[in-house]
Amino acid sequence: MTDATLTHATPQGTSVTTEPRLFRWLLTGTVLALMAVLLFAPLLVVFVEALGDGIAVALQSLAMPDARSAILLTLTVAVIAVPLNAIAGIAAAWAITKFEFRGKAFLITLIDLPFSVSPVVAGLALVLLFGANSTFGAWLVANDMRIVFAFPGIVLATMFVTFPFVARELIPVMIEQGRAEEEAALTLGAGGWRVFLTVTLPNIRWALLYGVLLCNARAMGEFGAVAVISGKIRGETTTMPIMIEMLYNEYLSVAAFALAAVLALLALLTLVLKSLLEWRHAGLLAATRRH
């Protein structure tokens, strides 16, 4: 507020709380130029390469059996992994924000752990636990439960890398909202589930959507962890990012970039929805993003 009145009181460019006009122009120009080179050029080249031979060729390559099965697999994995992580994230936020217990800070660190572990290391860890090389894994294989180089492994790898998203978004929001409303509902005789569904959930719905949105974007695009655990069996365990790698390495550039363009469109859609949420419901999202 004081900032606004100040800039009005003094002519543009001479305020003591801003930099000289030439400096402002140079800095803005440099930053925008770097954004163009570092971010917009790579995004643009995806669409240019995908449509290089015309949109018909791009669509045709998306209709090929390999591409179709990759799209279907990626969607199926997300449909299973994202809701499971949403449930775990809600449970985590409830346990952490509604109760006091020992080791809470350590538990939060464990929830955040996947963000600082390399996706490849995550895939490796899953292979070592569930793969045929371990006792447990050998037992699983003997009982006809394949996890590594199969669908369940891809789901687990995806869940590993996206585990923190929902909890991390919900915890600050639920801490800020406190427990008073839930306690009032309990006093009035509502049961636990009813309190959650009619009091908590409406309060956290936008934050939950925000977390799910980020979780989904990462789930559909995950590469490193899935690359390790999927075994890259063509048409069976090849998700869209894995298929992009295979096509690219086979010099099928248009097909690779056509699939990449689909994921890039999904990323753009995610950014648009995310920005809409930030503009419309800023007050109901995690405090760190309010600016």
Partner 1 sequence: MRSLSLRAPSAMPGFGISFGILMAVLSVVVLLPIAALLGRGLLIGPADLWDMVNSRRIGNALVLSFRAALVAALFNLVFGLALAWVLVRYEFWGKRVIDAAVDLPFALPTAVAGIALTTLYAPSGVFGQALAPFGIQVAYTELGIWTALIFVGLPFVVRTVQPVIAELDAEVEEVSATLGAGRAHTLRRVVLPTLTPALLTGFALALARSVGEYGSVIFIAGNIPNLTEIAPLLIVIRLEEYDYDAAAAIGIAMLFISFAMLLAINLIQIWSRRRIGLV
Q: How many residues bind partner 1 (CB under 8 A)?
A: 109
Q: Of 30, 24, 27, which is closest to residue 7 (Cα–Cα)?
A: 24
CB of 278 to partner 1, least distance (A): 8
CB of 65 to partner 1, least distance (A): 20
Using the rule CB under 8 A, which residue among 20, 83, 178, 202 binds partner 1?
20
Residue 109 vs 198, nearer CB to partner 1: 109
Q: How far, in Å, CA of 196 to CA of 202, rounded?
A: 9
Q: Is 196 in the site for partner 1 (CB under 8 A)?
A: yes
Q: Is 14 in the site for partner 1 (CB under 8 A)?
A: no
Residue 92 vs 206, nearer CB to partner 1: 92
Q: Is 209 in the site for partner 1 (CB under 8 A)?
A: no
**Are 73 and 153 within 8 A, CB to CB?**
no
CB of 284 to partner 1, least distance (A): 16
Using the rule CB under 8 A, which residue among 166, 171, 199, 214 binds partner 1?
214
Q: How far, in Å, CA of 266 to CA of 249, rounded?
A: 23
Residue 40 vs 235, nearer CB to partner 1: 40
CB of 248 to partner 1, least distance (A): 5
CB of 41 to partner 1, least distance (A): 6
Q: Is 22 in the site for partner 1 (CB under 8 A)?
A: no
Residue 62 vs 125, nearer CB to partner 1: 125
Q: How far, in Å, CA of 27 to CA of 39, rounded?
A: 17
Return the CA Rg of the chain.
24
Residue 258: both structure tokens together:
């056509």
What are the φ and ψ backbone dihedral angles of 240, each rounded to 5 degrees?
-55, -50
**Are 221 and 78 within 8 A, CB to CB?**
no
Residue 99 vs 144, nearer CB to partner 1: 99
Amino acid found at 4: A
Residue given tokens 């003997």 in the structure block = 142
**Are 236 and 32 within 8 A, CB to CB?**
no
Site string for partner 1, 150-189 (x = CB under 8 A): ------x--xx--x---------------x--xx--x---
Spell 91-125 as b/e; 16+ CB within 10 A means b: ebbbebbeeeeeeeeeebeebeebeeeebeebbbb
Instruction: Name which of residues 219 to 258 contact partner 1 (CB under 8 A).
Output: 220-224, 227-228, 240-242, 244-245, 248, 253, 256-257
Provide the CB-side half-sphere exposure for 12 (13 A, CA).
3
Site string for partner 1, 112-151 (x = CB under 8 A): xxxxxxxxxxx-xxxxxxx--xx-----------------
Using the rule CB under 8 A, which residue among 58, 208, 263, 285 binds partner 1?
263
Angle at 118 between CA 219 and CA 91, to 5 degrees: 50
Instruction: Name which of residues 82 to 101 contact partner 1 (CB under 8 A).
Output: 84-85, 87-88, 90-92, 94-95, 98-101
